[in-house]
Structure 1
């Protein structure tokens, strides 16, 4: 199923299906299509909503985790999402999901993190982006996955084009540095909602030790690992990812109901 993009209220987003809301947040080099398999699987039972985060074109003074959280807050208000919903985030999207939950505890009923930043990440920021070097960009994009072939030419071309834009590079670097500064280790104990952590055992950007630390610090966390899987489990191991997600949504259904 091809994702249908909507443009309303100044936002670009996907809004598929009906039922309880799943709000999906992609990573720094991510795209709406990263969640394609989740939309395909869950839009029959849930309303799956994915905002396109303005990582490449937001005002430079706002290019950071707080600015992106504010963007999500504005999006939720503009789309009049219900009072309580489930938030899923991959990589930087997980970081945004965590801060959004800390800022809006009454809005988030459940949290799903996969390859999330917020505690530690071996980011592309140190030696990346390297302009004009296609082979290097291809190698770094492939580094995201256990199987480098997941990094299609289309995906590599997209990142290569980004790295050749000064304005986009400035925003990427600003956001990456902001993510590294905003360590959430001392705040995670305040997140009381059920949390599912789905991690690639072969994630080299946020390694398995990071997943164990999230599990230790989040009061209601359950951790699931996927072998032969890197930094984006919902893309690389979609069937297994969706199975864990559905099981979690089913077992925490009561906890997700709004309080009366």
Structure 2
């Protein structure tokens, strides 16, 4: 992994390939390893970069008071440090929320968007009651009990070949950092950003996503000008891992266009 310094934080990232730059933004309680199927497949045609957000993987812990705008500014700093703007961003789940805040604050860095199984914040997409309930459930779990590979994330069992990867990420979750990120997602309402997006946008959703249901995808499709929605059958929330070949084909077609 490589590391850059941004605003006093060490940001780790994986980089492979050569060609137009594509930055992958992982979900909550994950790190850049969740994009392994995409980096392996797409590096033949693109420069693929997957970051570890602050508090994840090889990056620094999150400082006190860190919020959504700080995640977005850190990602902007990474893009500027690598001199790859404007670039396409691919986000999953919480990563979509970070990308929307990045678009609000730094739209000139972005060439195109792939938004997968995501939210305009939990408040923005699910409502305050559901957002508060999800956050309370996470806070009530004892240390070491959180398992990001299980409840409602897959339509069936996780693909066998990726179980060791998922278990490794689970073992490395930092509880305080995870709660910082998911608190930011619970409190966020970025629904107003959707109408302002003026770059090509591809939406990718698992048909059986129980965490961000298709109603959220339809709202994104309705509000983002010109957005195209691709729905992957028999697939849950972590569509890039559960159906990597289909996911990669959708992303590759979009990037070529």
TM-score between the two structures when normalised by the length of structure 1: 0.83
How far off its partner does 1:139 sit? 8.3
Q: Post-superposition shift, 1:195?
A: 0.5
Which whole-Å CA distance do the structure 2 matches of 1:75 and 1:200 have between them? 29
In the alignment, structure 1 residue 14 sits paired with structure 2 residue 21: no
5 Å-filtered alignment, 1:214-229, equals 214-229=220-235
Picking from 63, 69, 73, the partner of 2:72 is: 69
| Correspondence 1:120 to 2:125 | yes
**Residue in structure 1 matching 2:155, options 146, 155, 158:** 146
Q: Does 1:232 align with 2:238?
A: yes
Matched length: 238
Cα-to-partner distance string for 1:41-92 (whole Å, 9 max, x where unaligned): 2111110011111135211311x311111111121122222x3110110111
Cα 1:131–1:225 change in 2 (3 A) is same
Q: What residue in structure 1 maps to residue 187 of structure 2? A: 181
Asked if structure 1 preserves the Cα contact closer than 8 Å seen for 2:96 and 2:118, the reply is: yes
User: Structure 2: which 5+ residue stretches go unaligned?
Assistant: none
* Alignment match, 1:242: 248
- Residue 110 of structure 1 and its aligned partner are, at CA, apart by 0.6
Alignment partners' CA distance in 2, 1:139 and 1:75: 26
Summarize deviations over 1:187-217 as a string: whole Å, max 9, x none: 2111111100000011111111000001111
Listed one character per residue, the Cα deviations across residues 114-156 of structure 1 (whole Å, up to 9, x for unaligned) are 011213256652312512575xx45873421112334726634
TM-score by length of 2: 0.84
Q: What CA deviation, in whole Å up to 9, does each residue of 1:204-247 have, x standing for no partner?
A: 11111000001111012000101111111111101111111122
Residue by residue over 1:91-119, the C-alpha shift from the partner in whole angstroms, topping out at 9 and shown as x without a partner, is 11111111112222222111000011213
CA distance in 2, matches of 1:179, 1:139: 16
CA RMSD of aligned residues (A): 2.2
Distance 1:12 1:120, change over 3 A: same
Partner secondary structure for residue 175 of structure 2: helix
Query: Structure 1 residues 98, 160: closer, same or farther in 2, change over 3 A?
Result: same
In the alignment, is the contact (CA less than 8 A) between 1:142 and 1:149 conserved in 2? no
Q: CA separation in 2, counterparts of 1:171 and 1:99?
A: 19
Distance, in Å, in 2 between the alignment partners of 1:143 and 1:156 is 16
Alpha-carbon separation, structure 1, partners of 2:144 and 2:109: 43
Question: For residues 140-219 of structure 1, what are the structure 2 equivalents within 5 Å?
Answer: 141-150=150-159, 152=163, 155-156=166-167, 158-159=169-170, 162=173, 168-219=174-225
Q: Find the counterpart in structure 1 of residue 62 from structure 2.
A: 58
Aligned-residue offset at 1:177:
2.3
Quick one: distance in 1 between partners of 2:95 and 2:168?
22
